[in-house]
Amino acid sequence: MTTSSENDNRPLAVLRVDSSARGDASTSRALSDRVIEKLKAEHGDVSVTLRDVSAGLPMVDGAWLGATFTDPAERSDDQKATLSLSDTLIDELRAADVLVIGVPVYNFQIPAALKSWIDLVARARETFQYTESGPEGLLKGKKAILTFASGGVDLNGVADFTTPYLKFMLGFLGITDVQVVAADRQNLDETAVDRATAEIEQLAA
C-alpha cells in the first residue's frame, strides 16, 4: 500500500474508530490493536488518532440539518456550534491515510453510535458532492480496514448487513479500498479470533 505519507515523508496518519461497548473485553478492539501494531511494524512512523464513539454521539436532528444546509457564510453562531462536532470528525477523516474501524455486530447491524458517526461525517459539500453524473465522494486516496466481530453472524452471510452497508457508505464518501478482518461466529467457532489474527498478518502492505 503506497500512501500519501510515504510520498511526502510524513508519518502514516491512522484514524481509529472504536464502537464496542465491551471495553477491554471487546474482540473488535483487540483486533484493531493488532492492526495498528501491523501498521507500525510495516510503516514505522505512524500517528494514530483515536475516536471512541461507544458512549454515543448526538443524533442528527432538525437543527443539525438546518445548519448543514445553510450556506456556510450565512450560518449563525448557534448553527456553527451545532456543526462543531461534525466539523471535528470530518477533519479527522480528511487527515487520515488509513481508517481502522471496529465493527461489532449488534442485532445484525452496526452499533447505533457508529451509525451516528457516519451520519455526522456524511455531509454534502464536505465529504461528498452532487454532480451531473451523480454523487461523488471527496475522501479519495484513503484505505479502510474493518475489524469485524460477531457471535453468530457469518461475514458476507445472509444476515451480514454490516459490511455491505459500511463498504457502500465508505465508497459513497470516496473510500473504495476496504479490507475486512473478521472474527465471525465466535459463539460457534473457537478458532475465530485466531483466524482473524492470522488474516491481519496477511493484510496487504
Q: What is the pTM of this model?
A: 0.93
pLDDT digits (tens, 9 = 90+) for 147-174: 999 999 999 999 999 999 999 999 999 9
Would you state the pLDDT for residue 203? 85
Q: Set out the domains of the chain in order of their start, with CATH numbers.
A: 4-201 (3.40.50.360)
Is 5 labelled a binding residue? Answer: no
Query: What is the overall mean pLDDT for the chain?
Result: 94
Half-sphere exposure of 98 (CA within 13 A, CB side): 26
Would you state the pLDDT for residue 10? 85
Is 32 labelled a binding residue? Answer: no
pLDDT for 4 beyond 70? no
pLDDT for 1 beyond 50? no
Is 68 labelled a binding residue? Answer: no
Is 26 labelled a binding residue? Answer: yes
Share of the chain above pLDDT 70, in %: 95
Distance CA 137, CA 76 (A): 27
Q: Which residues contact 106 (CB under 8 A, 6 or more apart)?
A: 112
Residue carrying the nine cell digits 465522494: 137
> For the residues of the chain, what is the DSSP string, one character each?
---HHHHHT-PEEEEEEE--TTGGG-HHHHHHHHHHHHHHHHHS-EEEEEEE-TT--PPP-HHHHHHHTS-GGG--HHHHHHTHHHHHHHHHHHH-SEEEEEEE-BTTB--HHHHHHHHHH--BTTTEEEETTEEEES-TT-EEEEEEE-SSPPTTSTT--HHHHHHHHHHHTT--EEEEEEE--TTT-TTHHHHHHHHHHT---
**Mean pLDDT confidence for 37-47:** 94
Would you state the pLDDT for residue 9? 77
pLDDT digits (tens, 9 = 90+) for 47-66: 999 999 999 999 999 999 99
pLDDT for 143 beyond 80? yes
**Mean pLDDT confidence for 162-188:** 97
